[in-house]
Amino acid sequence: MTKHTAQMDESTADVPGIGDTFPDLTVETSMGERSLPDDYEGKWLVLFSHPGDFTPVCTSEFVAFEQRREEFEELNAELLGLSVDRVHSHIKWTEWIAENLDVDIQFPIIADDQGTVAQQLGMLHPGAGTATVRTVFVIDPEGAVRLRLTYPMEIGRNIDEVLRSLRALQKSDDDGVAAPADWPNNDKFGDQVLLSPPGTEADAEARKAEAADDDELNYYDWWFVTRDQ
């Protein structure tokens, strides 16, 4: 597949959605060149954008992501930031964070001073120039987009939710189940997971019989069955 660079024609770029293969990109970062998603093959990638360096909310988010970085790594996930600024600005910004907030940023930051990468990925708010909204992509080890979250420029992200979503996606992939609201701390179902609804009448009857013989299954109806972990 032909690699696209950050200078590709924006008008022909399709913004990747959930289930799409993340586009091939070669980007410059504060830690050297990266090829996306190839350099992260076999790992989950959490890519998040920021409106700009040396801004208060962005700085708080960088600190928050770094403080949770080891939790992401335990989930076989790597962090990758993006800000519409140059590499030199990124370096000075992370130096400021280390000196003033005592946090050493150890993940790379994409340098996108022209906003072309952000434009291709749909991270720019219409009418806001090159200021990105706060977008998070979660990309799986095969390079597919599995989740996309977008926050406005004035509100910082919830890192707990990014981690929760990543754990839920991995649980779904590993066990072929779905995660209810607020999993794994749902007020009604706790850390139980949901089975996919049967597709035929025969399968529905089989599910009912299965639930009668399996203490780990909680049968509410043919289409709503939870399972203990």
Catalytic annotation, residues: 58
* Residue 65, Cβ density class (10 Å: 0-12 exposed, 13-18 middle, ≥19 buried): buried
And the tokens for 57?
A: 């909310």
Interatomic CA distance for residues 66 and 81, integer angstroms: 11
State the alpha helices, DSSP H only, in 103-182: 116-120, 159-175
Question: Which residue type is seen at 37?
Answer: P
Cα–Cα distances (Å) from 135 to 46, 125, 151, 204, in that order, read: 10, 10, 6, 40
Beta partners for residue 226, in sequence order: 194, 218
